[in-house]
Amino acid sequence: MDDTARRHNEKMKRIKEARDKIMETKTEERGLIMIHTGNGKGKSSSGFGMIMRCIAHGIPCSVVQFIKGGWQTGEKMFLRERFPDECRFFVSGEGFTWETQDRDRDVAAAQNGWRIAQEQILDPAIGFVLLDEINIALRYDYLDIDEVVGFLQTRKPVMTHVCLTGRNAKPELLEAADLVTEMTLLKHPFKDGVKAQKGIEF
């Protein structure tokens, strides 16, 4: 190693040491834009796990379900019946898109969900907003991706957390997010004829 390289190396070491020290002092708290995407399980259920944590810590929260509205899911029953004050629960969709088979109705439902979502995000009383399956509505262009990303980036209150779930999250959304988790299916029993079961899938 020549002198220049050695000096550079030493300088980088010092920078790294200083940086490591700075990293230790990172204590920032701020509202996050979180995405759960991928073809695996756990995208919605981990969102509901965070709702459980928020209720425990006294953080008021809101759920807007974009696509699953049609069914009687465990999470909907649980939150509406047991925690109506701690967690607001809105449904905009009527089922999966292949259930309704009516694009205009799907678009209207998604737009309605997005109107509610904006109100909930802007509400200073709310600390966490779960936009469940919104990625499906974005993927089919029921909602305008630029409008959604623009709103999250410029209008979301600094301390408010927003979690957006669903497969095929758009690149613009991934770009805008603070935290992205991809749930990947490695093995699934549906392939062997096991049906969706209470407590597990819904």
Examine residue 189 and tell whether it contacts a copy of itself (CB under 8 A): yes
Residue 103 or residue 155: which is nearer to a copy of itself going by CB? Answer: 103
Q: In terms of CB distance, is 126 or 148 closer to a copy of itself?
A: 126
For a copy of itself, which residue of 21, 154, 171, 196 counts as binding (CB under 8 A)? Answer: 196
Residue 180, Cα to own-chain centre: how many angstroms?
Answer: 9
168 near a copy of itself, rule: CB under 8 A: no
Question: Alpha carbon of 171 to those of 64, 139, 165, 174: distances in Å?
Answer: 22, 11, 14, 5
Near a copy of itself by CB under 8 A: residue from 21, 30, 124, 171? 30
Asked if residue 202 binds a copy of itself (CB under 8 A), the reply is yes
Site for a copy of itself in 64-93 (CB under 8 A): 73-75, 77-78, 81
Cα–Cα dist 13/73, whole Å: 54
Distance CA 158, CA 200 (A): 34
Cβ atoms of residues 89 and 63 within 8 Å: yes
The CA distance from 126 to 88, in Å, is 9
Give the nearest distance from C-beta 100 to a copy of itself in angstroms. Answer: 8
Count, residues near a copy of itself per rule CB under 8 A? 82
CA–CA separation, 35 vs 43, rounded Å? 9
Site for a copy of itself in 117-156 (CB under 8 A): 127-128
